[in-house]
Structure formats: C-alpha cells, structure tokens
Amino acid sequence: MATGIYYFTSEISLTLNAGGLKLGGADLALGAAARYSIVGVILNFIGAIVAGIIQPNQNLPYDSICDCTSILSNSNVCLQYTCITKRRERTCFPGRSTVITENGLMKSLSNIEIGECVLVINKENKLIYESIEGFIHLKRNGSFSFLLINIEIDDHRNITTSLFISSNHLIFLANDTELKNSLFASQLQSGDHIKYVYKNEIILGKIRNIDLTIEEGYYAPLTPSDTIKIDNVFVSNYASVNNYYLAHNVMKIYRW
C-alpha cells in the first residue's frame, strides 16, 4: 500500500469519509477505489507518525494535526479523519519562562511589563540590567511547541535546569565572548556548552539532552542589547536570522 506525506501552503482542512473527499470546503467526487486508496495512504501516514517513522513537515514552516471525527460502532476503526495544516508561528519562549528583574526577583514572561529592567549580557560579556523595550511578538493564549533543553552545571553536578525555546531562536555558546557565535536552538547537541548564570556569574552549562514539549503562549522580549537571560541561560532576542549583528541592525528601524 502506498504511503506519503502531504502539506499545504496555507491553512487548509482535509476531511475524508466513506462518501468522498472534502478539501477546504469543496467536495471532490471520488470512486470507491480512489477513496480506499487515499484512506490507506492516510492510515499508513498516521500510523507511521505514531511509530515515530515519519516526522510530518519537520523541515517545513507548517504544522499538521489530524483527528478522528467518526468511529465505526463497536470497533476502533476510524471512518473519518479531519486534518488541519497551518503555518508554524515564531514562538520564541513560553509564558512560563523566567527572567531576573533588577530587584533580584525571578519573574515569568507572562507577568513581565514593558519598562521593567531585566538581566542581560552586553557585548563586553558583562552582566547588566536593561529595560524591556517591547515584544517582537506576543500571544498569551494557545498551545505551542518548544524545545525543552535540559542543562547541567559542569562544576556543580547536582544542579540541573531546563530552557524552553523555539527551534529557530538564537542562543549563545559558552565560548562566544563577543556574541558572534550564536546558533539556532535546533542546531544544539548534547554536550554543547552555553552561557549559564549561577549566583551572578557566567559559567558553563552543558546540554544533557533535548526534548519536545507543548507550552502555553509565546513571548519575544526586546532589550537594547538584544540579549536576555531566560531560564538562567543567555540568549539572543532574535529568531530566524542566524546572524546576531545583522538582526540587531535590522531592528534599529523598530527603535526609531
């Protein structure tokens, strides 16, 4: 039986049932053989996802979700699947991620306000406090996917922490003293070292492993230095552009 992966360039719904195929609200007349063939494709596709064989749209800026909306009586056979594919949003950090304010308190991004001063790192690799100038993007409600990066401290083996971050967000490596060697979070690997803050000092944090998680809301805070400490790790304000200084110069327009 044939298998395959589908994707769309905008938000589209696909509904398949015993009577035919509905694509974005339009009915498509299909013969029985065609319907069963498509059913087989989708069932194999969904089965492969469950088995971890296929990662749908892994390298595409889209996410797909399929739900069974009709089940055959007295069985586990699904008669109808409805699939929705939509453009992936730039999520950056969830609302539960934390920053350190000027008075030394830890505060979640969902509660931070424009004008509050938070801990950042400047181009001299020094810890300073700067105000939140705004948010590049922000959405308080909704569930979104993030990387969950688990970190341990080399000199303090009993200390571990976690960073929630989108895969396309820039993060600074530990040896990046001039903030020129940033990577997308998706490029990090177990064993890599990042800039971790422990008792007001920048020390090495080693990545133990990386998982996927779903969290509430997303926030992309902006500071004058274009850096910020999130969950005790120093990261860039930027995503999608893999050059910190290029993104910094582009954002000068925002500050006019």
pTM of the complete model: 0.61
Structure tokens at 144: 């979104």
CA proximity to 64, closest of 89, 94, 93, 88: 88
φ/ψ (deg, to 5) at 39? -55, -45
DSSP letter (8 states) at residue 55: -
Spacing of C-alpha 103 from chain mean position? 30
Domain boundaries of the chain, sorted by first residue = 12-87, 98-255
Q: How far apart are CA 68 and CA 82, in angstroms?
A: 6
Q: Which of 61, 71, 67, 60 is nearest to 84 (CA)?
A: 67
User: For residue 63, what pLDDT is reported?
Assistant: 53
Phi, psi angle pair for 148, to nearest 5°: -110, 105
Please state, in angstroms and rounded to a whole number, the distance separating the CA atoms of residues 56 and 7.
8
Question: Would you write out the chain's pLDDT as a tens digit for each of its 256 residues?
Answer: 333 333 333 333 444 444 444 444 444 444 444 443 443 444 344 444 443 433 333 444 555 556 677 888 877 777 776 766 555 556 789 999 999 999 999 999 999 999 999 999 988 888 999 999 999 889 999 888 899 999 998 766 678 889 999 988 889 888 766 666 678 899 999 999 999 988 888 888 999 999 999 999 999 999 998 899 999 999 988 876 555 555 555 555 454 5
Q: Residue 159 has what pLDDT? A: 81
Burial of 236 (0-12, 13-18, 19+ CB in 10 A): buried
Is domain 98-255 classified as CATH 2.170.16.10? Answer: yes
Distance CA 133, CA 136 (A): 9
Instruction: Please tell me the distance from the alpha carbon of residue 171 to that of residue 80, in angstroms, as a whole number.
Output: 43
